[in-house]
Amino acid sequence: MDTATSGLALLENRWEDAHAATLSPEALLLYRSNLLGSDKRVTNYGGGNTSSKLPMTDPLTGEIVTVLWVKGSGGDIGSMKLDGFSTLYMDKLLQAKALYRGPEQEDAMVGLYPHLTFNLNPRATSIDTPLHGLIAWPHVDHVHPDAIIAIAASADSRRLTREIFGGTIGWVPWRRPGFELGLWLQEFVDENPEARGVVLEAHGLFTWGRTQKECYETTIDTINHATAWLARQSAGKPAFKGEKVAALPPDARRAVAAAIMPAIRGLIATPAGDGKVATRIGHFDDSPAVLDFVCSQALSELAPLGTSCPDHFLRTKIAPLVIAFDPAREQASDILPRLAPAIAAYREGYAAYYQRCRRPDSPAMRDPNAVVYLIPGVGMVTFAADRATARIAAEFYTNAINVMRGASAVSEYRGLPEQEAFDIEYWLLEEAKLQRMGRPKPLAGKVALITGGAGGIGMATARRLADEGAAIVICDIDREVLASSEAALRHSHGPDAAVGLWVDVTDEQAVVSLYADAAVAFGGIDICVSNAGIASAAAIEDTSLALWNRNLSILSTGYFLVTREAFRLLKQQGTGGSLVLVASKNAMVASPGASAYCVAKASEVHLSRCLALEGAPHGIRSNVVNPDAVLRGSRIWEGEWGDQRAASNRTSREDLERVYIERSMLKRGVYPEDIAEGIAFFASEARSGKSTGNILNVDAGHAPAFSR
């Protein structure tokens, strides 16, 4: 167990004068913002904002006017570009003060901001704009450092702020962001011209400066000062009152996560009409900071208090759900029966909180399920609409853990009062922000596992399903191609879009482990594409037993193992699912000189029919896609198979594709993307939710393969 402030290392000053000297004033603001936001100890993802008041030429009058450049709504100061700033005429913003009618009407001020826009900038203005505009300093930073929020969320944060900073950094009581808070800050600055910043109770830090560099350095110095003070105060004290249970070893932690994540995923899935189910994506975190907290004496007392900084609880909900578990005496199987009642109780508690706090015009209650699940000895599981949001929720809760660690070492930690939390969560302006986010992609919240995912058809399928928003597990026996395929998917679809897992589909234990790893990576699966394969050709009398067995073990036994384990996981989740078996034209039509391959492929089709029968009562569908002659991108055709097929068609390898096109009824080539399209159809509940036990040939037309 670490001491109370471990993890809060001092920040280095990364300002480079030589680089800064080359930048325009607005580029310098972006430089300052990116420097600050790229370190998560300064501010959490998407949290905080920066501003500068800069002289600019008015496009209408040609005169020099002062323009407030302030991070706009949404975005992240660490990764934003110049177009992430909104720009407002400062003189008009100050004039708008005259229109302010008091706290009850402060939301109405937001409707005025578009009228203050400089140079037709389309970036939506943030609700934090007046917090920057009304502070009479040229440059202002607002960030959410764990060390400062630890002080801001302490029971006696005002006294602590004074003790730590003297008069240089002031203190303002909690008030949600908006025009009123802007006026409070303006008053503070006017009355305290010597102050260089202010701690906002339960929320974060504002700092300012005459130059960009001074502002940046004040922010860094202030955070470091608080960090060092916290370290001194808590030296030698155990974090969170010491350890209550010991953390399990890493493999055992992952095993528990693998066992419970699909169960939680199933329990928090919500009906989406006409038999469809909305599922979420999970993320597992057992980092040292998380383990310290979930193994501690203080877990049961601190977790229900919830988080303090509004950014934290908007992402993590009002409080986490702690799942009872004694890692010294119990197994994962002891947790499973506890999940349903614990999740139901959380939902009831959330609904009661909504009823207690709702205002007459509050938006309807949102999903009442927890986002954060804490398991003593094991770690933290988070669930959200997509992987990035689940991972970011875990990052935010880790921020909250750091805050609780610091605050409870020097004082008593306080969450935000319930009504204040509700008013932020159900703030009409937050609702408007959610509405602006647009419709999710068709497969958002779904996880697709694709065997042979590093191959031609597998990779085209991964891309196609990722385009539709599914989280992707590609698995393959070829480690090298798997690694490059995973990297390519992450490059094209984002770092959270895909994981690559090694598997040999003929190895029972490897397949079992594959699904456990997939459960830890994303919380479970919804779509299984059984596709890993080989091809071989040999006349019957030349077919060795080894060749026969190799075909059967990969194409028949491999498909059995992969779909059986998928079936078990889908049944445990209880949210239905789609199995898509990539067989072959040769499953329908015997080809001369390829008996082992044809027989193995035919068995896949019959396996799919059996799975369709057994799966139907559980909403698990099973369908077959039959490719034929997909030469481009396929590694099967690069090997012997290509030579043999060329020989048996009495042509060269180069000419083979033309021969197949000529043979097809439609006289067209078949490509990996065409097979992926068929797979995507069966993967989608919306498009094929009422089809099971079917066969789709994607072969440009081949009459002998017609299914009947």
The binding track of 504-533 with respect to ligand NAD, each residue x by CB under 6 A or -, is xxx------------------------xxx
Q: Which is nearer to ligand NAD, 32 or 601 (CB)?
A: 601
Please say whether the beta carbons of 300 and 381 come within 8 A. no
Instruction: Answer yes or no whether residue 456 interacts with ligand NAD by CB under 6 A.
Output: yes
- Nearest residue to 576 via CA among 283, 266, 259: 266
Residues 631-670 that bind ligand NAD (CB under 6 A): 634-636
Instruction: Answer yes or no whether residue 130 interacts with ligand NAD by CB under 6 A.
Output: no
Between CA 239 and CA 237 the distance in angstroms is: 6
- Among residues 143, 239, 257, 477, the one that binds ligand NAD under rule CB under 6 A: 477
Q: How far is the CB of 562 from ligand NAD (least distance, A)?
A: 9
Tokens of 295: 């193994």
Query: Minimal CB distance to ligand NAD: which residue?
Result: 455
Q: Does an H or E element contain 472, and which?
A: strand 471-476
Region binding ligand NAD by CB under 6 A among candidate stretches 52-60, 185-193, 265-273, 497-505: 497-505
The binding track of 414-453 with respect to ligand NAD, each residue x by CB under 6 A or -, is -------------------------------------xx-
- Among residues 454, 472, 696, 700, the one that binds ligand NAD under rule CB under 6 A: 454
> How far is residue 290 from each of residues 22, 163, 260, 480, measured CA to CA in Å?
42, 30, 18, 33
Instruction: Answer yes or no whether residue 476 interacts with ligand NAD by CB under 6 A.
Output: yes
- Among residues 630, 695, 698, 700, the one that binds ligand NAD under rule CB under 6 A: 630
Q: Which is nearer to ligand NAD, 138 or 678 (CB)?
A: 678
Q: Which is nearer to ligand NAD, 105 or 649 (CB)?
A: 649
Q: Which is nearer to ligand NAD, 219 or 531 (CB)?
A: 531
Instruction: Answer yes or no whether residue 598 interacts with ligand NAD by CB under 6 A.
Output: no
Between CA 290 and CA 401 the distance in angstroms is: 7
Residue appearing with tokens 């779909």? 563
Tokens of 558: 């491999």
User: Residues in contact with ligand NAD, total (CB under 6 A)?
Assistant: 31
Q: Which is nearer to ligand NAD, 395 or 504 (CB)?
A: 504
Query: Three-class SS string for 657-677?
Result: HHHHHHHCCCCCCCCHHHHHH
Helix then strand then coil, in percent of the chain rounded to 5, is 50, 15, 35
Q: Which is nearer to ligand NAD, 71 or 585 (CB)?
A: 585
Region binding ligand NAD by CB under 6 A among candidate stretches 216-224, 378-386, 471-479, 486-494: 471-479
Q: How far is the CB of 624 from ligand NAD (least distance, A)?
A: 11
Pairing of strands 204-209, 197-200: antiparallel
Look at the alpha carbons of 496, 500, 506, 509 in this order and tell me if their dihedral is positive or negative. Answer: negative
- Among residues 148, 169, 172, 582, the one that binds ligand NAD under rule CB under 6 A: 582
Between CA 146 and CA 205 the distance in angstroms is: 10
DSSP state of 154: B
Between CA 406 and CA 69 the distance in angstroms is: 34
Q: How far is the CB of 668 from ligand NAD (least distance, A)?
A: 14
Q: How far is the CB of 446 from ligand NAD (least distance, A)?
A: 21
- CA–centroid distance for 605 within its chain: 36
Q: What is the CA angle 655-595-551, rounded to 5?
A: 95
Residue appearing with tokens 């919804």? 526
Q: What is the CA angle 95-97-101, rounded to 5?
A: 140
Residues in the chain: 708
Tokens of 125: 């203005």
Q: How far is the CB of 639 from ligand NAD (least distance, A)?
A: 8
Instruction: Answer yes or no whether residue 478 interacts with ligand NAD by CB under 6 A.
Output: yes
- Among residues 177, 182, 455, 524, the one that binds ligand NAD under rule CB under 6 A: 455
Q: Which is nearer to ligand NAD, 226 or 473 (CB)?
A: 473
> How far is residue 268 from each of residues 126, 245, 334, 380, 382, measured CA to CA in Å?
32, 28, 19, 16, 12
Q: How far is the CB of 387 from ligand NAD (least distance, A)?
A: 24
Q: Which is nearer to ligand NAD, 251 or 662 (CB)?
A: 662
Between CA 685 and CA 442 the distance in angstroms is: 9
Q: How far is the CB of 358 from ligand NAD (least distance, A)?
A: 53
Tokens of 501: 């897992």
Residues 281-300 that bind ligand NAD (CB under 6 A): none
Instruction: Answer yes or no whether residue 503 interacts with ligand NAD by CB under 6 A.
Output: yes
- CA–centroid distance for 543 within its chain: 49
Q: Which is nearer to ligand NAD, 200 or 561 (CB)?
A: 561
Residues 338-397 that bind ligand NAD (CB under 6 A): none
Instruction: Answer yes or no whether residue 629 interacts with ligand NAD by CB under 6 A.
Output: yes
Q: How far is the CB of 541 from ligand NAD (least distance, A)?
A: 23
Between CA 400 and CA 406 the distance in angstroms is: 10
Q: How far is the CB of 669 from ligand NAD (least distance, A)?
A: 11
Q: Which is nearer to ligand NAD, 230 or 581 (CB)?
A: 581
Residues 548-567 that bind ligand NAD (CB under 6 A): 554, 558
- Among residues 316, 382, 584, 608, the one that binds ligand NAD under rule CB under 6 A: 584
Please say whether the beta carbons of 487 and 408 come within 8 A. no
What amino acid positions are annotated as catalytic residues? 597
Q: How far is the CB of 593 from ligand NAD (least distance, A)?
A: 15
DSSP one-letter string for 348-368: HHHHHHHHHH--TTPPPP---
Give 665: exposed, middle or buried? Use CB within 10 Å, 0-12, 13-18, 19+.
exposed
- CA–centroid distance for 502 within its chain: 23
Between CA 11 and CA 185 the distance in angstroms is: 26
Q: Which is nearer to ligand NAD, 451 or 595 (CB)?
A: 451
- Among residues 247, 269, 457, 594, the one that binds ligand NAD under rule CB under 6 A: 457
Instruction: Answer yes or no whether residue 628 interacts with ligand NAD by CB under 6 A.
Output: yes
Tokens of 493: 């679809």
Q: How far is the CB of 587 from ligand NAD (least distance, A)?
A: 8
Residues 63-122 that bind ligand NAD (CB under 6 A): none
- Among residues 78, 282, 627, 678, the one that binds ligand NAD under rule CB under 6 A: 627
Q: Residue 431 contacts by C-beta under 8 Å, 6 or more apart in sequence?
A: 363
Tokens of 476: 């393959």
- Among residues 8, 116, 534, 676, the one that binds ligand NAD under rule CB under 6 A: 534
The binding track of 160-179 with respect to ligand NAD, each residue x by CB under 6 A or -, is --------------------
Please say whether the beta carbons of 289 and 4 come within 8 A. no
Using CA atoms in the order 690, 691, 692, 693, what is the torsion angle rounded to 10 degrees? 150
Between CA 249 and CA 245 the distance in angstroms is: 12
Q: How far is the CB of 658 from ligand NAD (least distance, A)?
A: 15
Please say whether the beta carbons of 294 and 397 come within 8 A. no
Q: Which is nearer to ligand NAD, 109 or 532 (CB)?
A: 532
Give the residues lining the site for ligand NAD (CB under 6 A): 451-452, 454-458, 476-478, 481, 503-506, 531-535, 554, 558, 582, 584, 627-630, 634-636
